[in-house]
Amino acid sequence: MDGVLKAEANIAVSLAVQAI
């Protein structure tokens, strides 16, 4: 489960960076 959560966090960060 930790791996999935980390992947989700990475995707969220990537989207946030793209939004900037």
The reported pLDDT for the residue numbered 16 is 93
∠ at Cα 2 (10, 6), nearest 5°?
A: 5
What is the number of alpha carbons within 13 Å of residue 15 lying toward its C-beta? 6
- What tokens does 3 get? 């791996």
The reported pLDDT for the residue numbered 10 is 97
Q: What is the pTM of this model?
A: 0.36
Q: Quick one: CA dihedral 10, 13, 15, 17, positive or negative?
A: negative
The reported pLDDT for the residue numbered 18 is 93
Residue ranges, the chain, pLDDT below 70: 1
The reported pLDDT for the residue numbered 19 is 81
Where do we find the tokens 């999935």? 4
